Amino acid sequence: MAAGVSVKHYGILSSKTWRLHRLLRKISPQRVDVGQATEIQSVRAATSASPDSQQSQKYCLDLVRSRDYEGFLSSLLLPEEARRSSLALRAFNVELAQVKDSISQKTIGLMRMQFWQTAVEEIYRDDPPNQPVSTELWRAVRTHDLTKRWMLKIIAEREKDLDDRAYRNLQELETYSENTQSSLLYLLLECLGVKNVHADHAASHIGKAQGIVMCLRATPYYSSRRKVYLPMDICMLHEASQEDFIRGRQEKHIRDVVYDIASQAHVHLQHARSFSHMVPAAATPAFLQTVVLEDYLHKVRKADFDVFHKSLQNRNPLLPIQMYLRSWKKTY
């Protein structure tokens, strides 16, 4: 089987997503085909042509599609030479992110984080573990000369997050977001071949906005499991207790907490855009997640900052087209 196996042949996409995929192909000046990513430059040992490499690529694509659908869509819209590496990085991020929710003891989580720290070190020694995400990550590193520091930062921050406690203040949430979401964006910029201080500055703010929004979006899920991670300083300011969120209350002081946190995400988004004229167009595909952030902030504002409102739980069916249009305009 050729290395450039199509997504449709693998049956990777659901019928609904595949119809969207076909639509994007029709309206895009360039084909948006994940399978084409296997045709980018080869790395040592011609791994992109081997059956094992095809399976590793498929594993990463399936993982990102099922656990980070918005990241999956944005990866589809990247330039051809960066798509496969983007999926590898997002699969790596998913693997780390899901550790916290999949363990019953912190010790187990620490062992998994140690595995990934060792894996990254081995990847940079050209000796990656025989594991699908590690294999694809190694390929991405060899193809784009990715910076190891950003990967290790993501691991270290996710490991600290295993303490399973609320953020003490908004600054702590921003630091977490910078070291995880912004670090991922720095790596995506490297996949795009962008080295620009203004693009890095935008990535920093967008990553912080994304981390804040993700914390808000996850609140109903974690509250149903009697866990609240919202910054304690904001909760204390409005005299909102963790029990208020666990009970799903919608009183004004609860909505005031959400308003303050959402406003900070909006501020970071505005900062990122304030110098967009200095960010090279080649960097903008890395920032397609801003469409997702805008969508959530608009919906939570429309719901009067009721983080439990049912409208916030529904996926926007127009999101793929909105992301495509943003990519076509080369803006963020």
The pTM of the full predicted model, rounded to 2 decimals, is 0.85
Compute the distance between CA of residue 187 and CA of residue 288 in angstroms, rounded to an integer: 14
Compute the distance between CA of residue 222 and CA of residue 109 in angstroms, rounded to an integer: 18
Per-residue pLDDT band at 53 (split at 50, 70, 90)? confident
Query: What pLDDT, in 10s, does the model give residues 115-166?
Result: 999 999 999 999 999 999 999 999 999 999 999 999 999 999 999 999 989 9
Using the Cα atoms of residue 302, residue 305, residue 306 and residue 309 in order, give the sign of their dihedral.
Answer: positive
Compute the distance between CA of residue 6 and CA of residue 88 in angstroms, rounded to an integer: 17
Kindly state the tokens that stand for 18: 């595949």
- CA geometry: angle 314, 319, 322, nearest 5 deg: 155
Instruction: Determine the pLDDT at residue 22.
Output: 53
Residue 251 CB neighbours (<10 A): 11
Per-residue pLDDT band at 194 (split at 50, 70, 90)? very high
Q: Which residue has the tokens 């304690």?
A: 232
Using left for φ > 0, alpha for ψ between -120 and 50, and beta otherwise, residue 46 falls in left
225: Cα separation from own chain's centroid: 23
Q: Which domains does the chain have, with CATH numbers?
A: 166-332 (1.10.600.10)
Compute the distance between CA of residue 293 and CA of residue 40 in angstroms, rounded to an integer: 31
- CA geometry: angle 141, 10, 39, nearest 5 deg: 40
Query: What pLDDT, in 10s, does the model give residues 306-329?
Result: 999 999 999 999 999 999 999 999
- Of all residues in the chain, the percent with pLDDT exceeding 90 is 82
Compute the distance between CA of residue 34 and CA of residue 76 in angstroms, rounded to an integer: 6
Residues 228, 166 contacting (CB under 8 angstroms): yes
Kindly state the tokens that stand for 113: 């984080």
Kindly state the tokens that stand for 111: 């062992």
22: Cα separation from own chain's centroid: 24
